[in-house]
Chains A and B, each alone.
Chain A
């Protein structure tokens, strides 16, 4: 039991602002990023080349990319997720006594939040590796099966990382948890910020958010299906041709770190001798 003699923590003193920021970051940038991320990944369904073009566009940011990643994606997600843990601790489920739909959604919001946090942290490790320091990637992440995505061999490395049944199944669970959390979070956000006020408006908003959630769920499953069904050999040929063409046309600086490794690691070509940092 807290008593008055305890010093008030930073979170307690700025509770309103911190909670409003938590609510805001859920939509901007996290929700916006997630929608773009799913749409970009769903483009793999069209063709490996389309997906590769999308990835080249993202990587055209060059050395700005890590800054954008950390400031607009990783840090907001960490803030939202870690504060979410504090928020979960502040509540007590009571759906047994009060099994109303909105109360069940209150519980689901917290459960999907937890799943989403675990999923996102492991997903970023699996594909990206968290931190692009060569020693960390080489000795810690890759032995664990992480950092599998290579942006200049986008579809083929994605397809390889998504093989088997367990990984796609875990991804489906994680994706649907993220989608529910975003759609339901949008609904609660409308009340928190006073956008939908009357019960009738809140009911309409429920349908609106359900529609948003359904579209995002379809997009997520489409992206997952695209990733699972990639023909990795064909995709690698297309990607390598695109890479060579871009490098020849001086549209791209050669960067072996962003390419898939040849099968025999030590027999690597000298193409990537000049490396632009690890990004």
Chain B
């Protein structure tokens, strides 16, 4: 697309453009059109799914044959499997469980590991995946979170990290305090991309420093006791790139920055920014193209300055 042919919003915010690897393929690249090049259009394709019946249970692979239609995505393939839950060997099985919501890559609910790569199922186009690997499409749940069932995982640790780092602007009160301080255009443009985070978990799934963690309920443990124990465990583990980036977002916000010290304290606590290993996978896999490593560098500088400030000015 030339800049002139783009909609105004795309010219203004070029990062909103669909990345090339996710863009809808044009006609001449679909397998259907490959008949021109002598390849036979496929009738079916295979999907291999890593299933798990419930938390703590053993996982197992299962193969399904799905009728091919042009322009399918992984969600529509999963819908076809749900409509006819029979394995490739003709065994009737329970339908495969998965989560999805927006179907336009802004909610993060359908994040899973597709052909070994973490991404959203809604924008994972079957035609493209089959170009990558013609024999099958491999689906597995994210590997860093406890599996609830099949492709559904408990991503609570991601949200716990947002709570730990106080990733919001606190504006509670009875009085109208008037409008907040204005933000410069430059600042807005720098921070807008950070607000795109949908807490999908891609960044931490690809992160070599973010380890899988699952806290299992003890015999006779109450909901509250279990939640407290889980929170305490998550507190000690790496917060993840998404939370570091949210700290940068809210510490730069004209009202949010009043609490910047508290957020930086959370970021230098155990499991904080220091656990980053600079592998930079987070920024490479982020579906929203959020400059996560830029946020990490900014937060790293701010954390050091904050620590020195606490030493010498308190």
Determine if B206 is an interface residue (Cβ-Cβ < 8 Å). yes
Please measure, in the bound complex, the distance between the C-alpha atom of A102 and the C-alpha atom of B292, giving whole angstroms: 14
List 5 A-B residue pairs with CB atoms under 8 Å apart, sorted by A's residue number. Answer: A4-B229, A16-B272, A90-B209, A187-B278, A190-B297
Are A17 and B307 neighbours in the complex by a CB distance under 8 Å? yes
| Residues of chain B with a CB closer than 8 A to A17's CB | 307
Flag if A94 contacts B206 (CB, 8 Å): yes
Count, A-B residue pairs, CB within 8 A: 119
A93 is an interface residue with CB less than 8 A from chain B: yes
Is A248 at the interface (CB under 8 A from chain B)?
no
Interface residues of A in 6-22 (CB under 8 A from B): 8, 12-13, 15-17, 19-20
CA gap between A98 and B294 in the complex, in Å: 20
- Distance from A114 Cβ to chain B, minimum over Cβ atoms (Å): 15
Interface pairs A-B: 10 shortest CB-CB: A194-B301, A4-B232, A106-B279, A19-B274, A102-B280, A188-B278, A16-B268, A197-B297, A194-B300, A103-B279
Return the chain A residue nearest B144 by Cβ: A92
Q: Which of A3, A13, A193 contacts B300 (CB 8 A)?
A: A193
A97 at the interface (CB under 8 A from B): yes
Determine if A20 and B281 form an interchain contact, defined as CB atoms under 8 angstroms apart. no
Let me know if A100 and B298 touch, CB within 8 A: no
Contacts of B214 in A (CB 8 A): 1
Distance (Å) between the CB of A3 and the closest chain B CB? 6
Q: A94-B206, A197-B294 in contact; A4/B279 too (CB < 8 A)?
A: no
Q: Does A199 contact B (CB under 8 A)?
A: yes
- A90-B209, A106-B278 as given contacts; A3 in contact with B298, CB under 8 Å: no
Residues of A within 8 A of B215 (CB): 1, 3
Q: Determine the residue in chain B with the shortest Cβ distance to A23.
A: B274
A165 at the interface (CB under 8 A from B): no
- Chain A residue at minimum C-beta to C-beta distance from B228: A4
A: number of interface residues (CB 8 Å): 39
In-complex Cβ contact of A12 among B117, B229, B270, B278 (8 A): B270
Residues on A facing B (Cβ under 8 Å): 1-4, 8, 12-13, 15-17, 19-20, 87, 90-94, 96-98, 100, 102-103, 105-106, 187-188, 190-199, 202
Q: Is the CB of A1 within 8 A of B233?
A: yes
* Minimum C-beta distance from B285 to chain A (A): 7
B110 to chain A minimum Cβ distance, whole angstroms, is 19
Of A15, A16, A87, most buried by chain B (CB within 10 Å of CB) is A16
Q: Which residues of B contact A192 (CB under 8 A)?
A: 276, 278, 300
Specify which chain A residues have a CB less than 8 angstroms from the CB of B213 in the assembled complex: 1
CB of A135, distance to nearest CB on chain B (Å): 43
Residue interface bits B202-227, CB-to-A below 8 A is 1, else 0 = 00001011010111000000000000
Given known A1-B215, A91-B208, A98-B281, contact A198–B275 (CB-CB < 8 A): no
Separation in Å of the B141 CB from the closest CB of chain A? 14
Given known contacts A92-B211, A94-B208, A97-B117, is B281 in contact with A16 (CB within 8 Å)? no
B303 within 8 A of A: yes
* Residues of chain B within 8 A of A188, CB atoms compared: 277-278
Q: Which of A17, A192, A193 has the most CB of B within 10 A?
A: A192
Does B116 belong to the interface (CB within 8 Å)? yes
Q: How far is the CA of A90 from the CA of B283 in the complex (A)?
A: 20
Assess A106 versus B301: contact at CB under 8 Å? Given A4-B233, A199-B291.
Answer: no
Annotate B290-314 by CB proximity to A: 1 below 8 A, 0 otherwise.
Answer: 0101101111111110010000000
Query: Which residues of A sit under 8 angstroms from B196, Cβ to Cβ?
Result: none
Would A15 and B116 count as touching, CB distance under 8 A? no
> Within the assembled complex, what's the spacing in Å between the Cα atoms of A204 and B271?
30
